[in-house]
Amino acid sequence: MRFIADHMLGKLAKYLRLADYDVIYPPPRLDCDKKQLAIDQKRILLTRSTPLIRNHPGPQYLLIASDKFREQLQQVIRHFNLHLDPERFFRRCLICNAPVSEISKERIRDRVPPKSYAAYDQFCQCPHCQRIYWRGSHTQRMMDALLRLVAPQS
10-residue stretch averages of pLDDT, the chain, 154 residues long: 92 94 82 78 90 70 92 93 89 95 95 93 95 87 80 63
List the beta bridge partners of residue 5. Answer: 46
- Delineate the domains of the chain, giving CATH numbers in brackets: 2-87 (3.40.50), 89-150 (no CATH)
pTM: 0.86
Rounded Cα–Cα distance for residues 66 and 23 (Å): 19
What does the chain come to in residues? 154
Q: Quick one: which of 25, 32, 31 has its CA closest to 9?
A: 25
Ramachandran angles phi, psi of 71, nearest 5° = -70, -35
